[in-house]
Amino acid sequence: MITEDLTDEQRAFVESIRDFAKRECGTREQRDALTENGNEPHNQELYERIADLGWLGVAIPEAYGGTGGGAVDMCLLCEEFARGMIPMGFFSVSMITAGAFGRFGTEEQKQEIMGGVARGRVEAIAMSEPEAGSDVGNLSCKAERSNGGFVINGQKTWITAAHAADHILLVCRTDRTGNKHEGMSMISVPTGSEGLEVRGIDTMGGREVNDVFFTDCYVPQERVLGQVDQAWMQLMAGLNNERLIIAAQALGMAQRAFDDVLAYVKERKQFGRPIGSFQVLRHRLADLATEIECARELVYGVAQKVDVDPGRLLPREASMAKLKATEIAKQATLEGMQMMGGYGYACEYDMERQVRIAVVTTIYGGTSEVQREIISKTLGL
Ligand SMILES: Cc1cc2nc3c(=O)[nH]c(=O)nc-3n(C[C@H](O)[C@H](O)[C@H](O)COP(=O)(O)OP(=O)(O)OC[C@H]3O[C@@H](n4cnc5c(N)ncnc54)[C@H](O)[C@@H]3O)c2cc1C
């Protein structure tokens, strides 16, 4: 999607985010201060200020405190916060979680979760387990009926923002009699609940993901989202949303790496001339610009389709957008590092940080291999 396709309002929205990024996170000193030298992907104080501007509710209906925009607006925000290196790393998972409540929540649940996200609260979603990564259907964390609610036992892993969230939207097993995709339920567990323990996992991305342990953790029936035993269908209904959010964010990462390396090759001189004047680098940048534009067309193409018909499932197109945008984010940052030589590897510059956050985009939210499996199935393979 080219800028001319945006409405005046959307263009103004993008400009406002860019101004904010420049003002608040424009220098390396500002970014270091906001992220504890790159170790914290999310700054809650800044995040709440962004909430006050009304941006976090861009794709949340007005009835729940948002501004009622659609998928294109949400992608614009995700792309620009990544491009601007604004440390609001827990927005994506909060919005993915809010989406599930938008589709299946009761009025009260929507007010609580969607309203909370629009106000700057963080939400987490827990599907993955040690033995259930790409194969989510293999999950075994269980919730058993007891005293008008459920008692949960088991472990989740890799849970983004569980340490900062108000609730964890747990996907767990409530019935074992059917096939592995049957008998799963979604339960929103308040993070302060007794029997819930969150332990951080060290990664190259900083303080981001967690193991979560449930030991006889009781939640009342009203914390169930949607229908008991129907979580698989509910998860499938959210895939457009999840993949678009991750893809748009990856697109912003790719664009930022490209912007930074382009500026660098224009300045850096070797052999008496800017290194960007060497044809081999010029052509690589031309290729990168083309690939990033392809990813942009895919991401916004899917977002526009979702806005036309929010109920339509687009497994093939959404997987293509996620695959393309995340692979180009990884490629752009690694190429950026290569084109910056030793300075790309030095912590003094941003590129090494950009590499660290981009490489994992092809793993979370369904790996690239899983996206290719989904796409190849639509080809009858
Ligand atoms: C930073 C980060 C944040 C995350 N956030 C969350 C979160 O908030 N909530 C949550 O629930 N989960 C989260 N995850 C988990 C993430 O979704 C899983 O890591 C991912 O789905 C892959 O699962 P796995 O790590 O167990 O790898 P595995 O499934 O063990 O895969 C290992 C390798 O095998 C390949 N593979 C597996 N199956 C196939 C197949 N059928 N065909 C071809 N190749 C295959 C994979 O592509 C991969 O390359 C997060 C992970 C990370 C790293």
Q: For residue range 90-102, what is the model confidence (pLDDT) as tens digits? A: 999 999 999 999 9
**DSSP state for residue 132 in the 8-state scheme:** B
For Cα atoms 72, 73, 77, give the angle at the middle one, nearest 5 degrees.
Answer: 115
Q: Are residues 93 and 150 in the same domain?
A: no
In terms of Cα–Cα distance, which of 126, 132, 46 is closest to 81?
46
Q: What is the pLDDT of residues 38-72, one digit of tens each?
A: 999 999 999 999 999 999 999 999 999 999 999 99
Please identify, among 121, 149, 167, the residue that sits at the C-terminal boundary of a domain.
121
Q: Does any ligand 1 atom lie closer than 6 A to the CB of residue 262?
A: no
Q: Are residues 96 and 150 in the same domain?
A: no
List the CATH number of the domain containing 368.
1.20.140.10
Question: Whole-angstrom Cα distance, residue 105 to residue 169?
Answer: 12
Local structure of 163: helix, strand or coil: coil
Q: Are residues 139 and 109 in the same domain?
A: no
Whether 257 has a pLDDT exceeding 80, the answer reads: yes
Whether 4 has a pLDDT exceeding 90, the answer reads: no
Ligand 1 center to 233 CA (angstroms): 20
Atom of ligand 1 nearest to the CA of 203: 1
Distances (CA, A) of 322 to 103, 202, 270: 21, 25, 37
Task: State the DSSP string of 273-289.
Answer: EEGGGSHHHHHHHHHHH
Q: Are residues 353 and 295 in the same domain?
A: yes
Ligand 1 center to 161 CA (angstroms): 17
The residue whose C-alpha atom lies closest to atom 53 belonging to ligand 1 is 364
Residue 381 corresponds to which amino acid? L
Note the pLDDT of residue 3. 62
Q: What is the pLDDT of residues 308-351, one digit of tens each?
A: 999 999 999 999 999 999 999 999 999 999 999 999 999 999 99
In terms of Cα–Cα distance, which of 244, 246, 164 is closest to 208?
164
Q: Are residues 95 and 171 in the same domain?
A: no
Q: State how many domains the chain has.
A: 3
Question: Whole-angstrom Cα distance, residue 330 to residue 297?
Answer: 18
Q: Are residues 219 and 344 in the same domain?
A: no
Q: Are residues 257 and 342 in the same domain?
A: yes
Q: Are residues 112 and 148 in the same domain?
A: no
Q: Are residues 335 and 348 in the same domain?
A: yes
Structural domain span for residue 227: 125-232
Percent share of the chain, pLDDT over 90: 99
Q: Are residues 244 and 372 in the same domain?
A: yes
Q: What is the pLDDT of residues 147-165, one digit of tens each?
A: 999 999 999 999 999 999 9
Q: Does any ligand 1 atom lie closer than 6 A to the CB of residue 104?
A: no
Estimate the crossing angle of helix 91-104 against helix 107-118, to 10 degrees. 160
Question: Whole-angstrom Cα distance, residue 98 to residue 118?
Answer: 9
Are residues 209 and 45 in contact, defined by beta-carbon separation less than 8 angstroms?
no
Helix, strand and coil percent figures for the chain, each rounded to 5: 55, 15, 30
Q: What is the pLDDT of residues 203-214, one digit of tens each?
A: 999 999 999 999
- Alpha-carbon Rg for the chain, nearest whole angstrom, is 21
Q: Does any ligand 1 atom lie closer than 6 A to the CB of residue 370?
A: yes
Confidence of residue 5 (pLDDT cuts 50, 70, 90): confident
The residue whose C-alpha atom lies closest to atom 52 belonging to ligand 1 is 364
Q: 210: how many CB neighbours lie within 10 A of its CB? A: 24
Q: Are residues 272 and 197 in the same domain?
A: no
Ligand 1 center to 368 CA (angstroms): 9
Please identify, among 121, 141, 173, the residue that sits at the C-terminal boundary of a domain.
121
CA dihedral angle for residue 308, residue 314, residue 320, residue 322, rounded to 10 degrees: 80
Q: Does any ligand 1 atom lie closer than 6 A to the CB of residue 159?
A: yes
Ligand 1 center to 302 CA (angstroms): 23
Please identify, among 197, 215, 232, the residue that sits at the C-terminal boundary of a domain.
232
Q: Are residues 162 and 280 in the same domain?
A: no
Question: Whole-angstrom Cα distance, residue 364 to residue 240?
Answer: 15
